[in-house]
Amino acid sequence: MSSKTLDRFLKENLQDLKERGLYNEIDPVQGANGPVITINGKELINLSSNNYLGLATDERLKEVAIKAVKKYGVGAGAVRTINGTLDLHLKLEEQIAKFKGTEAAIAYQSGFNCNVAAIPAVVDKHDAILSDELNHASIIDGCRLSKAKIIRFNHSDMDDLRKKAKEAVESGQYNKIMVITDGVFSMDGDIAKLPEIVEIAEEFDLITYVDDAHGSGVTGKGAGTVKHFGLQDKVDLQIGTLSKAIGVIGGYVAGKSELIDWLKVSSRPFLFSTAVTPADAAASTKAIELLMESTELHDRLWENGRYLKEGLKKLGFDIGQSETPITPCIIGEEKTTQEFSKRLYEEGVYAKSIVFPTVPRGTGRVRNMPTAAHTKDMLDQALHIYEKVGKELGVIK
């Protein structure tokens, strides 16, 4: 018999989420996650994928993944520190280091794992972390695990960061102080003010940590936000995922050789979790190789992003302050946001609603992710549907 306490807890809290419009329905995709997807037998223009460059379905990546499975099998067979490190993992890490312009890199099983691995490995309860208030959930969890003092600064507010850095240093309470920011903020599409952050870090001797999950493959001609600003030699830890623009699964930390050596002997997901599969390692390596050879996919992504932004803005939608292809349509109230997304679905567009707690209350939005794989015809169809639904629900005139 299951616990009555647990049953009561689950029933009450699930009902509460549903009543407040915060319950998230999961829609299984039938087939590949491309620019057009099928859900419940219905074809939809897909504007909710992180597959920025369309590489998740790229034939060249499929080919190397199949070859890797045939040669190495479907799993690495062990954690990296026993005998789960394949030559494929070393090739991937060498490729990442070249891509990010660092001395070395270490690969993990996911981007989330990178943050819960690297942050606690570098700072502890005797230290402090200055963290942007809009940082990703995995950064927040990594900070909590470290037991360091977490000092939040206002989003991209450099005066607030400088003030809090000064206070932390002058307090004399901390052995080390780290400043952490996303490179690209995934809900609004804005870019971190890295030059100013690095300047403040140099002034107060802060460790610099940039999670570029949504920047790698997108900014800096594909090499990421740190490269976009030419700060490869100034940022201590560059974190990224292999599951968004790269199109596969996994994550990495790039930096100095000594940092990577330290993470190999101290970061828990590396020590206690089986390595990324051979197919994933091979496909990720190939994807990065393609990005280093040509900016074609990157350029197409940005062109599609500009096209969608301009179209939505002309229709009268609030698209926020995005500086990247990520294009939010900010609706506001949670239930209206959910209804807007539902109506888009019914008309043939899959654009998922994002509400609290992912974004602050009252700032619900439908987050659009145009990719390099979308055609102008697809985007035109999507804009037509946005106009229809927006007028119907009174979101636009």
d(Cα 163, Cα 144) in Å, to the nearest integer?
22
CB 114 within 8 A of CB 268: no
**Measured in whole angstroms, how far is the alpha carbon of residue 145 from the centre of its chain?**
20
* Cα-based angle 339, 314, 305 (whole degrees, multiple of 5): 80
Cβ neighbours, 10 Å, residue 138 = 21
- One-letter amino acid at 221 equals K
Is 156 in the active site?
no
Tokens of 132: 């942007």
**Per-residue pLDDT reduced to its tens digit, 277-300:** 999 999 999 999 999 999 999 999
Report the pLDDT value the prediction gives residue 80, as an integer from 0 to 100: 96
360: nearest Cα among 25, 48, 133, 131: 133
Flag residues of the chain having pLDDT under 50: none
Choice among 244, 286, 309, 374 that is catalytic = 244
* pTM of the shown model: 0.93
In the CATH scheme, what architecture does the domain 20-49+295-392 have?
Answer: Alpha-Beta Complex (3.90)
Report the pLDDT value the prediction gives residue 1, as an integer from 0 to 100: 65
- The answer to whether the bond into 370 is cis (omega within 30° of 0) is no
Choice among 110, 138, 186, 284 that is catalytic = 186
CB 260 within 8 A of CB 105: yes
- C-alpha dist (Å) from residue 87 to 83, 97, 257, 278, 321: 11, 16, 18, 9, 43
Report the pLDDT value the prediction gives residue 397, as an integer from 0 to 100: 84
CB 117 within 8 A of CB 268: yes
CATH 3.40.50.300 fits 59-293, yes or no: no
Residue 220 has what DSSP assignment?
G
Is 89 in the active site?
no
Is 244 in the active site?
yes
**Per-residue pLDDT reduced to its tens digit, 119-173:** 999 999 999 999 999 999 999 999 999 999 999 999 999 999 999 999 999 999 9
Q: Write down the domain spans for the chain.
A: 20-49+295-392, 59-293
Task: Give start and end residues of each alpha helix (H) in the chain.
Answer: 4-19, 59-72, 87-100, 111-122, 137-146, 158-171, 194-204, 225-228, 257-266, 268-272, 278-293, 296-315, 334-347, 376-392
d(Cα 299, Cα 25) in Å, to the nearest integer?
33
